[in-house]
Structure 1
Amino acid sequence: MLDTDVITCSVARDARALYALLWRPESFAHWASGLGGALARDDRGWTAQGPEGPVRITFTPHNAFGVMDHRVDLGGGRVACVPLRIVPNQAGSTVMLTLFRQPGTSPARFAADAAWVRRDLASLKAFAEGALAP
């Protein structure tokens, strides 16, 4: 089994409204810097420029459960699964992303990846709460 780090942030926005804002892949460009801000659709799905080169991304379809999972095909048979959830938390929401430590990833690199996710979730929070709204 892979090591995991479940990273959360609280967002002062109703869970259904937050999901409606964020579930479309196009919205990831507003907060997910790991996709390089270059998320594009082609005839086979979604692509982006990842930290290590081009990647192909498959997103969970729209659903009633706040699930925004995605799979990132890194090439060479490597696929990273990224479970992402929005759950109601009273009048707001908790966003949870599970980061898996990929085989061959050093503890220092895993910690750096977790820090990157925390920055991205802080951007998600700012975007969702209006500070970065277009």
Structure 2
Amino acid sequence: MAESLPARTLSVTIRRDWREVYDFACQPLNFPRWASGLAESLREAGDHWVAAAPEGEARVWFSPHNDQGVLDHRVELPGGLLLYIPLRVIANGDGAEVMLTLFRQPGVDDEAFARDAQWVLKDLQALKLLLEKGR
């Protein structure tokens, strides 16, 4: 059996209907507006998308549109490492909760994992600000 990776789930509450949040966030071309890890270079390339990465181009596969608020995506880094990024939008009263689970990859120390978590929180806050201010 494969060993599990340590994980941390980070979330933000957005004062918009969860379906509105999902409808905005599920569009790959909107990711660069709030997800700084997917640079403005994001472009469609057949069954996947391509984003500029410091080491070259990363390939990204997004979940198909669905009614459950699932925004999971997989990112293949230039060196071949494949990252699974679970991302969900769920109802939270009249608003939405957006949750991303960050998996700590082998060889990532405590300091780097904490930096990654801060980056995710910054991106989630950017999504919140964008959607609560009316895009």
Change beyond 3 A, Cα 1:3–1:116? same
Find out whether 1:20 has 2:23 as its counterpart: yes
Counterpart of 1:115? 118
- Identity among equivalent pairs (%): 44
Counterpart of 2:61? 58
Find out whether 1:129 has 2:132 as its counterpart: yes
Greater than 3 Å deviation, 4+ residue runs? none
**Residues 1-134 of structure 1: pairs in structure 2 closer than 5 A:** 1-130=4-133, 133=135
**Aligned partner of 2:111: which letter?**
A
Q: For structure 1, which runs of at least 5 residues remain unmatched after alignment?
A: none
RMSD: 1.3
Change beyond 3 A, Cα 1:51–1:92? farther
Contact 1:68 1:84 in 2 (8 A): yes
Matched pairs, number? 132
Q: For structure 2, which runs of at least 5 residues remain unmatched after alignment?
A: none
Q: TM-score, normalised by structure 2?
A: 0.92
Secondary structure of the equivalent of 2:37? helix
